[in-house]
Structure 1
Amino acid sequence: MSNPEEDQLPTSQAQPVTFADLHIHPAVLQAVSDVGYESPSAIQAETIPALLAGSDVVGLAQTGTGKTAAFAIPILSKIDTSNRHTQALVLAPTRELALQVAEAFGRYGAKLSNLNVLPIYGGSSYAVQLSGLRRGAHIVVGTPGRVIDHLERGTLDLSHLDYLVLDEADEMLQMGFAEDVERILSDTPEYKQVALFSATMPPGIRKITSKYLHDAVEVSVKTKTATAENITQRYILVDGRRKMDALTRVLEVEQFAAMIIFVRTKQATEEVAEKLRARGFAAAAINGDIAQAQRERTIAGLKDGSIDILVATDVAARGLDVDRISHVVNYDIPHDPESYVHRIGRTGRAGRSGTALLFVSPRERHLLKSIERVTRQKVIEAELPTVEDVNAQRVEKFRDSITAALSDPGLDLFRRLVTDYERDNDVPMADIAAALALQSRDGGAFLMAPEPPQEKRTFDDRGDRGDRPGRGDRRRDGGFATYRIDVGKRHKVMPGAIVGAIANEGGLNRSDFGHITIKPDYSLVELPPNLPEDTLKKLERTRIQGVLINLHPDDGPARSYARHDKAGGKPPTSKPKKYRKTQ
């Protein structure tokens, strides 16, 4: 299995030490060696000895520096597999990262006998998780919400915990898990070893480190740039309505091994993948609604070459690492520059070169500038392949297909059939070959038709609205429905916490959210209408600030009256609108 992004360990750069110099467990060293790694990254070289020595650690480093191995290797070196109790807990902000970390533990602990690693996260079967916990999981990797759920059910026992890791701690706090993290920490033994890894150090992280870590060793790895230098970054200026045409041209002209195309919504993954398949490309979609078994089959297809193009959302692609990926296309430009960094990090792995392409509409200029500012790199403008470029490539591929067919063992049969046809019908061989080629097109046009002349658009044009409808239009078209959750201002809840909790546990994308209105005792959240039953079930036990959110469609003032009557009081005499204002 390929190593995930967090485990990218440099093998070509000279390092002052090797893994063999770090005094890790021989079985773990053998597993690391089998994976093909010899030299630790900077954060591993400093973190592994500190954790092996028993110190608490605060690791400050960006994604891609090898943080997972930095804590997995020393924990595996010290774990007691003869003891069935849960000895290590890793908290991760998303289910994708939880799976990624659990897989890394499995690889580095492959030579340890009877090791059990269990990922637990929202949206997966309780039966599998309960069975794993009953068998005894030495290492549990989970999202905060599901970990709390098991703690409250009494199915997860942390009384024997020796090691606790907070991975991507700043992301957990940003998603509103601060109170959940503290709730979990309060259920762990006082004497344990704690490792916290974060890209930044906001006040909330400082509070946790000062409260729960003791004499922690701080390891900081500075990065000169947020994106790898071996990734070529380009953008194409294109109207939203013409993006599929632009993508098709790029795919026909660009030479690539495998590609990930990023879009903003789950619906778009299916739509784009279907259109690409209709155009003859081996494409598949992956999003938060796809079952884990299907996700694994899709990724296996990407690895073995039966699938060349993966259309994905940000969340669905977390932890994805496939060596074949040579190109990343940002079909929809991300609103968050950090998402762009994560996206293009899917290519250019292990020292290979990679290409990142970004589609930008004129009205998205500010997003491009923000990406360049954060990454400290200029994204170079590229020209959209012309009709002539596409047609030249089609002709070249046609010629190549003839050359390849000439070496096919079955050619003799068809040569006899064609020769007989030529003799019986007195038709030139060139005409027969042309007719067969035309027949293979199944009625489709071989060459792309010249495009009508268009006025050249520039970044100063503001009229392009084709890439997405306005917020008001989307609501009128049924794009959003209003849901109520039972947390509000008195719970000190913020919009980011609402988005983070619901998106993480329900498998939603942040673009699935509309307006969020926070009232004193409840909040109204705009989400896609008719949420699937499995999504609603995933959200049944979701908590924000420790409170069950009880998400349900908002039915306005009538529900407020019902609650008033249920409490034993009289319904208000004022108008519904006024009553709602007083809540």
Structure 2
Amino acid sequence: MSITFSDLGLKQPINDALNDLGYEKPTVIQEKAIPQILSSSEDLKAFAQTGTGKTAAFSLPIVELADTDNKATQAIILSPTRELAVQIGKNIEDFSKYIPNLKVVTVYGGANIDQQIKQLKRGAQIVVGTPGRTVDLIRRRALRLGSVKWLVLDEADEMLNMGFKDELDKVLEATPDEKQTLLFSATFPREVEAIASNYMTNPVEVASGEKNQGSDNVSHEYYLVTERTRYPALKRVADVNPDIYAIVFCRTRRETQEVADKLIQDGYNADSLHGDLSQAQRDSVMEKFRKKNIQILVATDVAARGLDVNNLTHVINHKLPDQIENYNHRSGRTGRAGNKGVSIALVNKKERYKLNPIERILKKKFVHTPIPTGEEICKKQLFHLIDKVENSEVETGKIDPFLPSIYEKLNDFSREELIQKFVSLEFNSFLSYYENAPDLNNATSRDRDDRSSSGRRRETNENMSRFFINLGRKDRLNPAKLMGLINEQGISKSVEIGAIDILDTFSFFEIDKNFENDTLDAFSANNAEFNGRRVNVEITKNERKGGGRRRSGGGSGGRRRRGDSPSKGFGRNRSDRDRSENKFQSKKQGNKQFGRRRRS
């Protein structure tokens, strides 16, 4: 006998709301977490894959237990992005529709803070917020958390990846010691385990599956491409799946916009979602995507968090993410609510090794799938068209008045000729486009677009500048801490951070080329330190005559001539750094970033 929501101990008004929403029975994580929160004040650490109903798992018991006669904030729910915060807030409003005195306020950056302050002053038992805006409201004394009974950290892994640890600390300082902390995460890297040990007391652990393992409803494929064939391969994936409803993930905002523009120019119902859009623009794009007016959404990892879409057929990784955990988040956007989904990775030969650590975590193998040929695409599209004709409903009442004239006009054509003309009319564009189309699987492995004139591979995006920093794993630096360090310099809210490579004693990171000088100047002006150590940041590429480069964080800050001694404390001159970079690029990269193993 299956368990219902009423069996979990939820009161009737909540069950009525769930019935209205079409909730029939709880998911595994809901079945485990809801009774635990209802019956115990112990902290809870919950693993749940994306799309398994985490929001209801923590919000339903809070709605059940909240004191509606007390207007003070009793629950604070933190999420990494405004989209996810908005979605959680909306879900809680839906769950509590028959509890009139229960109020929820959602606070996030990019919206009018004065309006949010007014809402908080009216009273709200539940506040959902992003870490940055929540801290801002605490500082303004508009948000008081002294009566909080529940603190929820949703998508804790992503909050840490985005460098929000300091904000989490500040929120925790504003909450009482006696509260129930609920940590929900789709993956549990060491940083999340550390936050659990720091912020929680003997937490109970529940899970809807094995930690970090991918969903059983998602299959994983990879297509081998070159930089020159990456977009054509994406286009062919879309063409060979006529009913595709997908998110294409890109690493940067610029890449996101470029891919979306190409798809739109090629006639696809596509659009982009990234951090440069205003909140109104983001809401408009998402509304169109949910209604399927947009068939392909091109997005960055951050922008796509919190998307509540259950029927995606595909997730396509135009570029693999820098953080291995983000692949799990991406692929979890499909295969939801019992549906099957496909996650596709477009990788070139030098990126293929990055699939190995993902396979170890997902406990699933990527299937190497050939890029569809023009003939395969035309065949698939043709029979898709025929199936649509076969299954279409004919509304005779509306077309009967026109049929005599149509029959007369087409009377001279045989059945075969009519079918040929019909197919040609609908299908000529595909036949023309893919006529004599090359087999992309035969593309040379020596991708000319991925090499410089000297024959050496370029490791950095042409729109990004690559920086050296004199910190590494031995300094306890990780990608999240490095992103936090960069954000602390106040360079720009819109600065784009690209690839991050953490090594033992030094590291590399990429930043939008437009902020190159701002980055150097900020680190220098702030006399940046990390764990008591002075920070040195330099550009790793030679852009000026004579090989000079700007540097920050010690010394004179100007260019050094060949033979000059390095600044005290950094112990490595420019040629040493170049050798480190060359050594790093030439190795089978033992960076932990994507599970890369160090050579012994």
- Return the TM-score normalized by structure 2: 0.72
TM alignment of 1:392-431, pairs within 5 A = 392-396=379-383
Determine the C-alpha separation between the residues in 2 that align with 1:200 and 1:70.
17
Letter in 2 for 1:161: V
The equivalent residue for 1:464 is 447
The equivalent residue for 1:338 is 325
Is residue 99 of structure 2 the alignment partner of residue 112 of structure 1? yes
Residue 47 of structure 1, aligned match among 17, 28, 33: 33
The equivalent residue for 2:483 is 499
Change (3 A) 1:253 1:176: closer
Is residue 275 of structure 2 the alignment partner of residue 291 of structure 1? no
Residue 58 of structure 1, aligned match among 31, 40, 44: 44
Q: Is the CA contact (8 Å cut-off) linking 1:120 and 1:129 kept in structure 2? A: yes
SS in 1 for 2:23: coil
**Structure 1 residue 429, shift from structure 2 partner:** 13
Determine the C-alpha separation between the residues in 2 that align with 1:498 and 1:223.
29
Determine the C-alpha separation between the residues in 2 that align with 1:545 and 1:150.
27
Determine the C-alpha separation between the residues in 2 that align with 1:558 and 1:467.
28
Determine the C-alpha separation between the residues in 2 that align with 1:80 and 1:443.
63
The equivalent residue for 2:577 is none
Determine the C-alpha separation between the residues in 1 that align with 2:328 and 2:306.
14
**Structure 1 residue 153, shift from structure 2 partner:** 1.6
Change (3 A) 1:434 1:115: same
Query: Over residues 244-281 of structure 1, what are the superposed CA-to-partner deviations in whole Å (9 max), with x where a residue is unaligned?
Result: 22222222222425222222222222222222222222
Letter in 2 for 1:237: L
Letter in 1 for 2:447: D
**Structure 1 residue 39, shift from structure 2 partner:** 3.3
Q: Is the CA contact (8 Å cut-off) linking 1:263 and 1:311 kept in structure 2? A: yes
The equivalent residue for 1:34 is 20
Q: Is the CA contact (8 Å cut-off) linking 1:497 and 1:544 kept in structure 2? A: no
Determine the C-alpha separation between the residues in 2 that align with 1:457 and 1:387.
15
Q: Is the CA contact (8 Å cut-off) linking 1:258 and 1:302 kept in structure 2? A: no
Change (3 A) 1:265 1:385: same
The equivalent residue for 1:270 is 257
Residue 313 of structure 1, aligned match among 290, 300, 310: 300
Q: Is the CA contact (8 Å cut-off) linking 1:162 and 1:193 kept in structure 2? A: yes
The equivalent residue for 2:511 is 527
The equivalent residue for 1:565 is none
Q: Is the CA contact (8 Å cut-off) linking 1:176 and 1:544 kept in structure 2? A: no
Q: Is the CA contact (8 Å cut-off) linking 1:174 and 1:500 kept in structure 2? A: no
TM alignment of 1:146-545, pairs within 5 A = 146-198=133-185, 213-214=200-201, 216-223=203-210, 226-396=213-383, 446-451=432-437, 456=442, 461=445, 463-464=446-447, 466=449, 479-480=464-465, 496-499=480-483, 512=498, 527-530=511-514
Residue 135 of structure 1, aligned match among 122, 128, 134: 122
Letter in 2 for 1:57: D
Determine the C-alpha separation between the residues in 1 that align with 2:529 and 2:99.
38
Query: Over residues 19-54 of structure 1, what are the superposed CA-to-partner deviations in whole Å (9 max), with x where a residue is unaligned?
Result: 212222322222223323343334333432332234
Letter in 2 for 1:464: D
Q: Is the CA contact (8 Å cut-off) linking 2:49 and 2:215 kept in structure 1? A: no
**Structure 1 residue 113, shift from structure 2 partner:** 0.6
User: Which stretch shows the higher mean deviation, 238-247 or 495-504?
Assistant: 495-504
Determine the C-alpha separation between the residues in 1 that align with 2:348 and 2:257.
22
Change (3 A) 1:401 1:557: closer
Is residue 111 of structure 2 the alignment partner of residue 124 of structure 1? yes
TM alignment of 1:79-98, pairs within 5 A = 79-98=66-85
The equivalent residue for 1:3 is none
User: Which stretch shows the higher mean deviation, 408-417 or 347-356?
Assistant: 408-417
Q: Is the CA contact (8 Å cut-off) linking 1:362 and 1:464 kept in structure 2? A: no
Letter in 2 for 1:109: S
The equivalent residue for 1:11 is none
Q: Is the CA contact (8 Å cut-off) linking 2:107 and 2:129 kept in structure 1? A: yes
The equivalent residue for 2:523 is none
Determine the C-alpha separation between the residues in 2 that align with 1:315 and 1:468.
30
**Structure 1 residue 418, shift from structure 2 partner:** 11
Letter in 2 for 1:138: Q
Letter in 2 for 1:273: A
Q: Is the CA contact (8 Å cut-off) linking 2:110 and 2:279 kept in structure 1? A: no
TM alignment of 1:553-572, pairs within 5 A = none
Q: Is the CA contact (8 Å cut-off) linking 2:479 and 2:500 kept in structure 1? A: no
Query: Over residues 149-196 of structure 1, what are the superposed CA-to-partner deviations in whole Å (9 max), with x where a residue is unaligned?
Result: 211122211122222222333443454433432332222223333323
Change (3 A) 1:405 1:318: same
- Point out which structure has higher relative CO (alpha carbons under 8 A, 6+ apart): 1
Q: Is the CA contact (8 Å cut-off) linking 2:79 and 2:155 kept in structure 1? A: yes
- Give the fraction of aligned pairs with identical amino acids, expressed as a percent: 34
Determine the C-alpha separation between the residues in 1 that align with 2:196 and 2:214.
28
Change (3 A) 1:30 1:372: same
SS in 2 for 1:261: strand
Change (3 A) 1:151 1:381: same
**Structure 1 residue 473, shift from structure 2 partner:** 8.1
**Structure 1 residue 295, shift from structure 2 partner:** 2.3
Letter in 1 for 2:361: V
**Structure 1 residue 311, shift from structure 2 partner:** 1.4
**Structure 1 residue 288, shift from structure 2 partner:** 1.9
SS in 2 for 1:325: coil
Determine the C-alpha separation between the residues in 1 that align with 2:406 and 2:134.
69
User: Which stretch shows the higher mean deviation, 140-149 or 92-101?
Assistant: 92-101
Q: Is the CA contact (8 Å cut-off) linking 2:58 and 2:182 kept in structure 1? A: yes
Determine the C-alpha separation between the residues in 2 that align with 1:107 and 1:271.
37
Determine the C-alpha separation between the residues in 2 that align with 1:192 and 1:289.
37
SS in 2 for 1:119: strand
SS in 1 for 2:261: helix
User: Which stretch shows the higher mean deviation, 503-512 or 491-500?
Assistant: 503-512
Q: Is the CA contact (8 Å cut-off) linking 2:108 and 2:133 kept in structure 1? A: yes
Q: Is the CA contact (8 Å cut-off) linking 2:157 and 2:188 kept in structure 1? A: yes
Letter in 1 for 2:4: T
Q: Is the CA contact (8 Å cut-off) linking 2:79 and 2:159 kept in structure 1? A: yes
Q: What is the alpha-carbon root mean square deviation over aligned residues?
A: 5.0
Number of aligned residues = 532
Query: Over residues 114-161 of structure 1, what are the superposed CA-to-partner deviations in whole Å (9 max), with x where a residue is unaligned?
Result: 432222233433233223223323211223222222111222111222
Determine the C-alpha separation between the residues in 1 that align with 2:191 and 2:260.
41
Determine the C-alpha separation between the residues in 1 that align with 2:393 and 2:550.
71
Is residue 109 of structure 2 the alignment partner of residue 145 of structure 1? no
Q: Is the CA contact (8 Å cut-off) linking 1:118 and 1:132 kept in structure 2? A: yes
**Structure 1 residue 444, shift from structure 2 partner:** 9.2
Change (3 A) 1:407 1:35: closer
**Structure 1 residue 283, shift from structure 2 partner:** 1.3
**Structure 1 residue 73, shift from structure 2 partner:** 1.2
- Return the TM-score normalized by structure 1: 0.74
Residue 69 of structure 1, aligned match among 43, 53, 56: 56
**Structure 2 residue runs without a partner (length 5+):** 516-527, 532-538, 540-548, 570-600
User: Which stretch shows the higher mean deviation, 192-201 or 439-448?
Assistant: 439-448
Determine the C-alpha separation between the residues in 1 that align with 2:252 and 2:323.
14
Determine the C-alpha separation between the residues in 1 that align with 2:15 and 2:451.
51
**Structure 1 residue 344, shift from structure 2 partner:** 1.9
**Structure 1 residue runs without a partner (length 5+):** 1-13, 532-542, 547-553, 562-571
**Structure 1 residue 394, shift from structure 2 partner:** 5.0
Q: Is the CA contact (8 Å cut-off) linking 1:260 and 1:329 kept in structure 2? A: yes
